[in-house]
Amino acid sequence: MAEHSWNEARLIPTSGINGAEEQERRATSALLAVMTAVREYGRALVRPLGAPAGAIECFIEVPFVLGERKLYPDGLIRVSRGVKSWTALVEVKTGSNELAAEQLENYLDIARDQGFDSVLTISNEIPAVAGQHPTKIDKRKLRKVNLHHLSWSQVLAEAVMQKEFRGVADPDQAWILGELIRYLEHSRSGALEFDDMGESWTSVRDAVAAGTLRATDKGIATVVARYDALLRFASLSLGRRLGTEVVPVLTRKELAEPALRAQSLTQQLCATGQMSGAIRIPDTVGQLVVTADLRSGRVSCHVDLDAPRDDRATTRVNWLVRQLKNAPDSARVECFTAHSRGSSAAELLRTVRETPGVLITDPAKEVRAFRVATSSTVGTKRGRGRGAFIDSVLTAIDSFYAEFLGDLKAWSAAPPKMRQVSPTESAEIEPTRPASLASTDFSSQDGTGDGRAGVLGVPSPAGRDEKAHSDSDKGTDLSRDGLPRQS
């Protein structure tokens, strides 16, 4: 038998998973066990939840009594440091299963009665805004207990970031973390990627195309929330490959009140048929703005960057073009000038490469910024695969970073250069001093001199004059350089 058909033994096997219950139990046990074994990874997950830096203990299916019922949360995490401890109940869902509000409220009651700090949920649901929980819970239940949520995409992204980029000190622990990554990436683990725009996608999409969409229509809230969730998933996916934290861009008001973001996106979709959002990638020139236009069937990505603050306008354009040497000719470049609304000119990159001055409509106006944009066809299907909306948006984001954003660098002014002084200018600065006396280097022939000596023992001009007069009084015949002339 050929060896290539043999299955390699795995620490966390995917075989033997029968049904959603077994899938959830195995995923919970695997994750909590690795959090205990790999200290760096466990710390990376619980630190944002408010846990102290300490030893992590994890348990599964711990029984609790609530009233006359016995309940079994999927897991429990306890972090201890000295006399201080932090405890959280864990509820896990895999596949397309969603969290139930009643079940979570029961666990919140248990946590309150036991003096626990938090309840942590893990599922494939990705909330529209970071920190927001995907399940609506009675806020009165949250007075003494915190409720946190992690998506499986975020759990996987943290694992990859820790192993591949931040590092794990112990090689054996790094291997264990790699086994968790392999398990979560397997389709049978139940840790799914973002794969559905929701049941209301088709009706909302058709209403946008017909121009009949209203803000009060049923299902529009689900679609706009799914779009923001898609941007969060795209950020996690891109950050996992870049080894850095990529996050969606939201204002402070939107972070404090997620309803404001949903309201703004709803108004934009009804008025223009578009949904826009931005993601921030560390150390790039600007935010990557993604706009899906359901009326035109296009998805566009763009970034704005400041132009250099010196040189001529055409030189500033050439500075941008040089950085886009690997970009496709079909990209659009826009130019923004000072004291003007909107772009002053826009051309395809192909044209700008041939004639940089085409973006300069008025040489008297200063070029302040550029916009580089690209667009492609957006899918219409709600799921994943060919012709799907999700895949077309993800592909557009990845392509824009690879072809544009990853190559662009912000302009920085060159440091000032020291002006070189020529020998002629040096002579003009001290015209009365002979070149032989211009040096201030110390010499063993320099005497300490008397009180009339110059710097470093060099006699002052006054001292030399007095010495010359003294020698003259003695009748000594002196030459021009002050030395006795030989007879």
| Residue 479 falls inside a structural domain | no
SS3 string of 381-410?
A: ECCCCCCEHHHHHHHHHHHHHHHHHCCCCC
Last-in-domain residue among 189, 220, 253: 189
Mean pLDDT to the nearest integer, 290-309: 94
Residues 180 and 31 in one domain: yes
What are 307-347's pLDDT values in tens digits? 998 778 899 999 999 999 889 999 999 999 988 887 788 99
For the chain, what is the mean pLDDT?
Answer: 86
Residues 270 and 352 in one domain: yes
With CA atoms as reference, report the closest residue to 92 among 173, 29, 15: 29
pLDDT given for residue 481 in this prediction: 45
Instruction: Using alpha carbons, list the distances in angstroms from residue 247 to 199, 262, 263, 288.
Output: 26, 17, 21, 11
CATH number at residue 153: 3.40.1350
CA distance 278 to 249: 5
Q: What percent of the chain has pLDDT over 90?
A: 65
| Residue 437 falls inside a structural domain | yes
Burial class for 222, CB neighbours closer than 10 Å (0-12, 13-18, 19+):
middle
**Sequence-ordered list of residues with C-beta below 8 angstroms from that of 283, at least 6 positions apart, any chain:** 244
Residues 237 and 334 in one domain: yes
What are 193-215's pLDDT values in tens digits? 898 999 999 999 999 999 999 99
pLDDT given for residue 447 in this prediction: 53
With CA atoms as reference, report the closest residue to 66 among 28, 101, 112, 24: 112
As given in the structure block, the two tokens for residue 43 are 């710390």
Last-in-domain residue among 189, 211, 232: 189
Residues 367 and 226 in one domain: yes
Residues 181 and 214 in one domain: no
Residues 270 and 137 in one domain: no
| Residue 184 falls inside a structural domain | yes
Instruction: Using alpha carbons, list the distances in angstroms from residue 5 to 1, 9, 15, 401.
Output: 8, 13, 15, 38
Residues 162 and 220 in one domain: no
As given in the structure block, the two tokens for residue 352 are 């700008």
Q: Quote the domain boundaries for residue 78.
A: 8-189
Mean pLDDT to the nearest integer, 155-166: 93
What are 261-272's pLDDT values in tens digits? 999 999 999 999
Instruction: Say if CB 95 and CB 23 are below 8 A apart.
Output: yes
**Sequence-ordered list of residues with C-beta below 8 angstroms from that of 377, at least 6 positions apart, any chain:** 297, 298, 299, 392
CA distance 89 to 113: 12
As given in the structure block, the two tokens for residue 142 are 């949250």
CA distance 200 to 184: 29
Backbone angles phi, psi at 464, to 5 degrees: -70, -40
pLDDT given for residue 428 in this prediction: 59
pLDDT given for residue 460 in this prediction: 46
pLDDT given for residue 423 in this prediction: 72
Residues 273 and 371 in one domain: yes
Mean pLDDT to the nearest integer, 218-234: 93
| Residue 410 falls inside a structural domain | no
Answer whether residue 463 shows pLDDT above 50: no
CA distance 359 to 251: 32
pLDDT given for residue 461 in this prediction: 46
| Residue 416 falls inside a structural domain | no
Q: Residue 185: which pLDDT band, with cuts at 50, 70 and 90?
A: very high
Q: Residue 430: which pLDDT band, with cuts at 50, 70 and 90?
A: low
| Number of Cα atoms under 13 Å in the Cβ half of residue 349 | 20
pLDDT given for residue 436 in this prediction: 53
Number of domains in the chain: 3
What are 362-401's pLDDT values in tens digits? 888 889 999 999 999 999 999 999 999 999 999 999 999 9
What is the distance between the terminal CA atoms of the chain, rounded to a whole angstrom?
116
Answer whether residue 456 shows pLDDT above 50: no
Mean pLDDT to the nearest integer, 43-66: 94
pLDDT given for residue 459 in this prediction: 47
| Residue 3 falls inside a structural domain | no
Last-in-domain residue among 164, 189, 214: 189
pLDDT given for residue 451 in this prediction: 45
Mean pLDDT to the nearest integer, 165-183: 94
| Residue 415 falls inside a structural domain | no
| Residue 487 falls inside a structural domain | no
Residues 106 and 225 in one domain: no
Answer whether residue 462 shows pLDDT above 50: no
Residues 322 and 252 in one domain: yes
pLDDT given for residue 421 in this prediction: 72
Q: Residue 184: which pLDDT band, with cuts at 50, 70 and 90?
A: very high
Which range has the worst mean pLDDT, 29-43, 119-133, 408-422? 408-422
Which range has the worst mean pLDDT, 59-68, 129-138, 161-170, 468-477? 468-477
Answer whether residue 355 shows pLDDT above 50: yes
Residues 183 and 207 in one domain: no
State the CB neighbour count (10 A cutoff) for residue 323: 17
Residues 211 and 147 in one domain: no
